[in-house]
Amino acid sequence: MSRWKRNLIVLCFVQLVTMIGFSGFHPFVAYYLLDLGVETPAEAATWLAIFNSGAAISMMIASPIWGSLADRHGRRMMLIRATTAGCVFTLLMGLAQSPSHLIITRIIQGLFSGTVVAAITLVATETPEEYMGRSLGLMQTSQFVGQTIGPLVGGLAADALGYRNVFFVSSALMLASVLTTLFFVRETRRPQPAAAAQPKRAKRAPGGALAAIANRNILVLVLTLAGNSFAIAVLSPVLSLYIRALIGDAPNLATLAGTVMSVAAFSSSVSAVLLGRWADKIGQKKILVACVLGVALVHVPQSYVTHPYQLIVLRSIQGLFMGGIMPTANALLARATDVTRRGAVYGFSHSAQAGGRALGPALGAAVANTWGMASTFLVTAGIFGVMSALVATFVRVNAVKVEAEAEREKTPVATA
């Protein structure tokens, strides 16, 4: 078996375990905040928005730095760093004694985490171009499966053991991911040391990543990924409280909330690899536009449900479309970017996505407090509708490969 295939298999497992750890505590953070002293659901929604936005803002600031360091020092090292940070700070969140302790720890975690972009960058750099869509689809599937299992496991564990103990379980899972990466992942395309680069390249390096980001295809794709994160984050401070408003304080509330949040990830895990493979054959742009438009349409009826079970059905359908967004957008982004700059470009992309995650919860809380929680689903539908129009209008598939090749020709090759 070739090294890139072995790395892909191991990294899929690592992302599966890591995503179980990260998503295991998210469904009940609002309830955990109530246990830590927050008095009302409205206050819990505000604190949860700060919890999500604070981490996203810190990640937005740090991601371009980590991306540039990945190009210079290696993507594997960045993955180990990000997963280790997730492990440590998740443990500390479980030890929080007040809402402010939880928020501060989460913000610091955002500065040092970023496991998804680190893994995607490593796969995109190692994988041959003709297998890019299906490989990123497999990676996305492993992440979606983890996001499916995590809320279910976390909800069951929270109902059985209490909210605090789930953070410790999540931390242990991330530690397993760190050790697996250390022992089994090997990076074959090592970046050139800074000292080995020619003077001309050294002078071009700071502007090189900016020049790559500035071309239209990359910019639109980055905006699409950021819009995807923004739209999803609009619902983050609302969804668990929306479920509670539908059924009240049921004994299995955490389990039901975890189920609602996981079904979209489950159906996404089924569709991601299939859509990624299909996109390699018929074109990433066609799949991307269809999936973004489908997600927009399926959000509309979610604002009119009367029971969580209706929400489960609709979010299952939503996940089928969601599964195609990230693999196709990331494959187009990889093909539009020179391999030596993918760390920087993916770092910038992740920063933009973090910015979307930072702004989304604030908008979601504001919309919910002004027009009611159900209206946030309509806002989310509108955002995805705008995204589909942007991709359909401005992304030029024939230009993607040409621009990447032009960037490669502009960049002098370093000699050892």
The total number of residues shown for the chain amounts to 416
Neighbours of 355 (CB within 10 A): 20
pLDDT of residue 398: 64
pLDDT of residue 192: 47
Which amino acid makes up residue 272? A
Q: How many CA atoms lie less than 13 Å away from 51 in the CB half-sphere? A: 25
Distance CA(221)–CA(168), nearest Å, equals 37
Angle at 369 between CA 364 and CA 371, to 5 degrees: 90
Angle between the N-to-C axes of helices 216-234 and 325-335, in degrees from 0 to 180, rounded to the nearest 10: 160
pLDDT of residue 411: 47
31: closest CA among 306, 314, 255, 304?
Answer: 255
Strands (E), 135-264: none
pLDDT of residue 150: 86
pLDDT of residue 80: 94
320: closest CA among 364, 284, 269, 367?
Answer: 269
Q: What is the CA radius of gyration of the chain?
A: 21
Tell which CATH classification among 1.10.443.10, 3.30.70.1050, 1.20.1250.20, 3.40.50.1360 matches the domain 3-186+197-410.
1.20.1250.20
pLDDT of residue 342: 78
Distance CA(7)–CA(201), nearest Å, equals 30
pLDDT of residue 244: 85
pLDDT of residue 199: 42
Structure tokens at 340: 């030596």
Distance CA(413)–CA(416), nearest Å, equals 10
- Name the strand (E) or helix (H) holding 14: helix 3-24
DSSP one-letter string for 126-144: HS-GGGHHHHHHHHHHHHH
pLDDT digits (tens, 9 = 90+) for 29-81: 888 998 898 888 778 878 888 888 788 788 888 888 887 788 788 889 999 99
- Cα torsion through 258, 261, 263, 264, rounded to 10: -170
Mean pLDDT per segment of 10 residues, for the chain of length 416 residues? 87 94 86 88 83 84 83 86 95 94 94 85 82 82 82 83 90 95 80 44 45 73 91 85 83 77 81 84 90 96 92 93 90 82 82 83 87 93 94 77 49 38
